[in-house]
Amino acid sequence: MLKKFLPNEFVKDVFHIKAEQLKERGIKGIITDLDNTLVAWDRPDATPEIIEWLEGMQQAGIRVTIVSNNNELRVKAFSEPIQMPFISKANKPLGTAFRRAVKLMGTKKEETVVIGDQLLTDIFGGNRQGLHTILVIPVATSDAKITTFNRNLESFIMERLRRRGLIYWEE
């Protein structure tokens, strides 16, 4: 059960995820979290760097869908100006939104990666669906209240994974 929380990859941030490398592995779609993955949870708009990264993925033929547990108003306000498809109120780690995103992008599970900053929602949810998961360091050091609870539980899980020798990176 503990292995369901283990990401397939760990990178510092989304900028370490390159379109060329994804394409070489046959990846055609990205399901990405929004808050503290792409931008800080309290930042309403995409940064120029995030816009450039997202456009680079799209130019490479990789579809991107934002899947967030946040409300529609928040996710829509971020996604619409940059014309990015999204699913809000996703109820991650439940699988419905992950399956819906894969269908929306027209990809197969083995052609899709999940990028997120949380073990309990993004990684666990993606792993349960058989998707390749990539954990990133949260872009902000602060969190919404519910996420703070999750982070405490994640620390416990990370320590267990570390003790079993399953984690090979430093936080």
Residue 54 covered by a domain: yes
Residue 168 covered by a domain: no
Residue 171 covered by a domain: no
Residue 169 covered by a domain: no
Quote the pLDDT of residue 2.
Answer: 77
Structural domain harbouring 7: 2-163
- pLDDT single digits (tens) 28-59: 999 999 999 999 978 879 999 999 999 999 99
Residue 126 covered by a domain: yes
Hey, what long-range contacts does 39-42 have (CB within 8 A, 24 or more apart)?
Answer: 39/78, 39/139, 40/139, 40/140, 40/142, 41/140, 41/142, 41/143, 41/144, 41/147, 42/140, 42/142
What domain count does the chain have? 1
Residue 10 covered by a domain: yes
Mean pLDDT of 148-154: 76
Evaluate if residue 169 carries a pLDDT over 80. no
The H or E element that residue 10 is part of is strand 9-11
Quote the pLDDT of residue 42.
Answer: 83
Residue 148 covered by a domain: yes
Residue 150 covered by a domain: yes
Evaluate if residue 64 carries a pLDDT over 60. yes
Q: What is the CATH number of the domain that holds 126?
A: 3.40.50.1000
pTM: 0.89
Q: Residue 170 — very low, low, confident or very high, per pLDDT cuts 50/70/90?
A: low
